[in-house]
Amino acid sequence: MSEAATQTYTRADEAFDCLQTAIVKGDLAPGEKIGEVELCSRFNLTRGPLREALGRLESRGLLVRRPHAGVKVVSVSAEELLELYRIRETMEGLAARQAAERMTDEEIADLQATLDSHEKMIEEAQGQAYYQAEGDYDFHHRIATGSRNTKLAQMLLGDLYYMVRMYRYRLSTSSGRPHMALGEHRRIAEAIAQRDGELAEFLMKRHINAARKNIEKRIQNGTAGV
């Protein structure tokens, strides 16, 4: 959640984190038009740092801001959410390939250990979708950073994942997939451990593709009013 050792935690950073989690968790509903002073009083901030945070959020695509007309949380349509997964498919495929080539042995061991704890979490917290989502996020996070591709990790972690997580809170992860996803994670980790970049890329793409199809199906069933 928190970045590395930010030497000094400035007010603008605080505002940024507050707003970001608020948007991701849905405390600020998509499409909701909200004023700056309102936000200030709600998060105990002044307008300076707030505006700076707003600018950062805007360039990350989490909210739109029309001059003199206020800010509103971005509302992504169902089609756009699926497009997001298409992007993830290619980018994370690349990340997996590079991770297989570049992760240290320790990192790989950690990755596999992480999967063990995920398995326990799923068994214990049956249906507790939240922990599953966090575990999934953790897995993909490790691979993104493991790619040693600075910009790639930055784009995945800074841009895409926040939007994906934002919609996880509404379309809480589907009931059947956790076990299946864990198995797919295992196979990906295996491929990385064997330093088989091509296979890791293939498996990762298929993994995300499956997740996309799953969402697609649920949307068509009318489960979600995205």
Partner DNA sequence: TCTATCGTTATTGTCAACAATCCATAGATT
Partner DNA sequence: AATCTATGGATTGTTGACAATAACGATAGA
Query: Within 10 A of 31 (CB to CB), how many other CB atoms are there?
Result: 9
Binding to DNA (CB under 7 A) within 67-106 occurs at: 67-71
Beta bridge partners of 63: 73
Q: Count of residues binding DNA (CB under 7 A)?
A: 23
Q: Report CA Rg, the chain.
A: 19
- If binding is defined by CB under 7 A, does position 5 make contact with DNA? no
Complex with a copy of itself: residue 63 or 182, whichever CB lies closer: 63
| Residue 72 binds which of a copy of itself, DNA, none (CB < 5-8 A, kind-dependent) | none
Q: Are 135 and 191 in contact (CB under 8 A)?
A: no
Residue 214: alpha-carbon gap to chain centroid: 17
Distance CA 146, CA 160 (A): 17
- If binding is defined by CB under 8 A, does position 58 make contact with a copy of itself? yes
What separation in angstroms does the CA of 8 have from each of 4, 48, 78, 122? 11, 18, 39, 37
Residue with tokens 């970045």: 3
Complex with a copy of itself: residue 91 or 108, whichever CB lies closer: 91
Tell me the one-letter amino acid at 165: R
- If binding is defined by CB under 7 A, does position 41 make contact with DNA? no
Least distance from C-beta 63 to a copy of itself, angstroms? Answer: 13
Ranges of H-type helices in 194-226? 197-220
- If binding is defined by CB under 8 A, does position 64 make contact with a copy of itself? no
| Residue 26 binds which of DNA, a copy of itself, none (CB < 5-8 A, kind-dependent) | none
Complex with DNA: residue 59 or 126, whichever CB lies closer: 59
Distance CA 56, CA 14 (A): 12
Least distance from C-beta 60 to a copy of itself, angstroms? Answer: 6
Taking CB under 7 A as the binding criterion, the range among 8-16, 104-112, 133-141, 167-175 that sits at the site for DNA is 8-16
| Residue 177 binds which of DNA, a copy of itself, none (CB < 5-8 A, kind-dependent) | none
Beta bridge partners of 64: 72
Complex with DNA: residue 13 or 216, whichever CB lies closer: 13
| Residue 86 binds which of a copy of itself, DNA, none (CB < 5-8 A, kind-dependent) | a copy of itself
What torsion do the CA atoms of 125, 128, 132, 135 make, to the nearest 10 degrees?
-60
Binding residues for a copy of itself, rule: CB under 8 A, are 6-8, 10, 12, 48, 51-53, 55-56, 58-61, 66-68, 80, 83-84, 86-87, 90-91, 93-94, 98, 149-152, 154-155, 158-160, 163
